[in-house]
Structures are given as structure tokens and as C-alpha cells.
Amino acid sequence: MEGLNELLKYRFTFTDNISISVKGLLFVILVIVVTSIVLRLFRRILTRNLPKDDRAKFDTVFSYGKWIVYLIFLLITLNAIGFNVTGILAASAALLIGVGLALQTLFQDIISGVFILLDQTVHVGDIIELDGKVGRVEEIKLRTTRAVTIDNKVLVIPNHLYLTNSLFNWTQNGTLTREHVTVGVAYGSDVQLVKKLLLQAANSHPQVLDVPEPIVVFTDFGDSSLDFMLIFTLNDSFKATFPKSDIRFEIDRLFRENNVTIPFPQRDVHIKNQ
């Protein structure tokens, strides 16, 4: 027993100011093992509900992050057992501050990417609108999200924009979306006829769903027109531009056939003679 105590007290001396005992070394190893077990359990808890592809991406960034955790706990443990780490801590702090300032945006993108993977607010295939740009998500990476716009252009979105801008997920509640087309008719028009023609234009389009059925809303008495909104449901909102265009063409045709006038703003100019 006495020999074991002597062994545990034996110190490895590296310099005059730096030495560590066998007992201290075993304690450091124990802390590393416990930290490794805790990190492994933490990773399993965070990734248990993630899809396989997202879990692989999270494991990649987690593998980098865990070394930072190991370093922090190692320095704390060494300091607790009397190992002089003041110089190391000062150098590490200065280094981390410098790296953090230089790579601030990169870290924001990566952290945002982790949040996206964890809370599942955006999935591959979702149609999103961010800062006025609309695209279908093709790939979610740790730093960027790649989406394709309706004109087949690739939209690369830095993930930190999800934290600083309002994100509209068009398909989070399903692929069905309510779209609308607005139109104004001249004062004195038969509003019931206008309603009938607008519904006819919507129901005639093959991509407009019957349930829920299209509706017409009389929105306002405008300066030059009676304003109406035709509301209908589509199954693919990503390509909504095309059926909405078709419906506008059909509205124009029906209005012409039934003598319904779409007015344009008019102003009367009075010239006074001095």
C-alpha cells in the first residue's frame, strides 16, 4: 500500500515550473474518459430524431467541436491539480479571440446550420422565401443551403441569414398553397357578373383544385375601379407564376366577351388662364 502511495506521488518533471504526478495524470485521464462518455451520450440525444443524412452532417461538425471541449476541460483539470497553465490559458484566449474575429461569419453559418439540422425547420424539397428570393431547397450543408429558383438558377444561401431574416417556408404545412389574382373593373359594372367570370376563369384551369373551391372577394372601392381578388388553391406553389398568368389571360378574354371593362387611372387637368 505504501509502495502504491509512493508511485502515485511520483512526479514527472519537464521544467523547473512544469511537473505532474502520476496521481494527477490518472485524474486527467479519468476526466477525459468521463468527458468522452458524456459527449457521446449528448450526441446520441441530439441526433436520435434526425434523418440519416442530417445525422452524418451533424456528426461531422460535432467531431470538430468535441476537441474544443476536450481542450477546455483538459486545461481546467490541469489547473485544478496544480499544473501551471496560466501561460497556456493566456495564449489560448488570445488565439481564440483572433480566430473568432477573423472567422465570425463562418462560425455564424456553421452554428446556424446546426440549428437547422436540429429543429428541422427546413427540409430538402421545401419551397422557401428569404429576402424576397424564392427557391426549392436541393441541399442543406453546414455552411450554406443550396436552392434552385423557378428559372433554374442556383441560389446559395449562407445559413446565418436564417437567424437575421424572416424565413417563409411555403410547404411546411403541406404542398397546397392559396394563391390569388387581383383585378379592377370600371364603376357601374355588374359585380355579380364579374364574380361569375372570375370563378369561371379559375375553375377552367386544370391546376386549380376543386377543394377548397375558388372564391372571389370584393376588396375595395378604388380611386378608378372596383377591386376584386380571386383566391384559389394550387398543389405546386413553386410554379404558381404560370397558372396565375394563364388565369389572367382567361380573365381578360372573358371580360372582353362580356363587355366588362378594366379601367386605367385617369386624371383631369384644369388649366387656369391668368
Residues 213, 190 within the same domain: yes
CA dihedral defined by 85, 87, 88, 89, rounded to 10 degrees? 80
Residue 142 is assigned to a structural domain of this protein: yes
Do 237 and 216 share a structural domain? yes
Same domain, 183 and 154: no
**Same domain, yes or no: 165 and 181:** no
Q: Is 188 left (phi over 0), alpha (psi -120 to 50) or beta?
A: left
Does some domain include residue 218?
Answer: yes
pLDDT of residue 267: 64
- Whether residue 252 is contained in a domain is answered as yes
Are 153 and 238 contained in the same domain?
Answer: no
Residue 236: CATH number of its domain: 3.30.70.100
Are 96 and 138 found together in one domain? no
Range of the domain at 141: 120-169
Residue 111 within any structural domain of the chain = no
Residue 266 lies in a domain: no
24/83 same-domain check = yes
Same domain membership, residue 210 and residue 142? no
In a shared domain, residues 158 and 182: no
Residue 95 forms part of a structural domain = yes
pLDDT tens-digit profile, the chain (274 residues): 566 566 556 565 555 555 566 666 777 778 788 888 888 887 777 777 766 666 666 665 666 667 777 777 777 776 666 666 665 556 566 666 665 665 667 777 777 777 777 677 787 888 888 887 888 888 887 778 888 888 788 888 888 887 777 788 877 767 778 889 999 999 999 999 999 999 999 999 999 998 889 999 999 998 889 999 999 998 877 778 889 999 999 999 999 999 999 887 766 666 776 6
8 and 91 assigned to the same domain = yes
Last-in-domain residue among 68, 102, 136: 102
Structural domains counted in the chain: 3
- 222 and 144 in a common domain: no
CATH code of 165's domain: 2.30.30.60
Q: Are residues 165 and 235 in the same domain?
A: no
Distance of CA 119 to the CA centre of its chain: 10
Cell of 150: 423557378
Q: Is residue 143 part of a domain?
A: yes
**97 lies in a domain?**
yes
What is the per-residue pLDDT for 140? 80
